Amino acid sequence: MEEMKTKVTILTPTYRIKGHIDLLPGARITDYMAEARDFIAVTNAEVWELQVGGRQVLSAPFISVSREHIEIILPGH
């Protein structure tokens, strides 16, 4: 089955991460997180300091984000 790129914003205690995750058509982010292992793959990632006006820390074509550090994940940017 073909996956689709879904834009997400992820908040950790330290960072705001913007990028894409691969979801199956019709799948929900909640289901994706429930089935995720220790890390989730984020493509076209931008990592920003969490505070308002925080600077961009890095950008990368791919990063792995520790599931245990994710406090909030939401669709879109």
Domain ranges of the chain: 4-75
Give the number of other CB atoms < 10 A from CB of residue 17. 22
**4-75 adopts what CATH topology?**
SH3 type barrels. (2.30.30)
Per DSSP, the three-state class of 64 is strand
pLDDT number for residue 2 = 66
pLDDT digits (tens, 9 = 90+) for 13-64: 999 999 999 988 888 999 889 888 999 999 999 999 998 889 999 999 999 9
Is the pLDDT score of 5 beyond 70?
yes
Residues ≥6 apart with Cβ < 8 Å to 12:
50, 65, 69, 70, 71
Q: Strands (DSSP E) along 1-77, which ranges?
A: 4-11, 15-23, 39-49, 56-66, 72-75
What pLDDT is attached to residue 1? Answer: 55
Rounded CA separation 49/73 (Å): 16
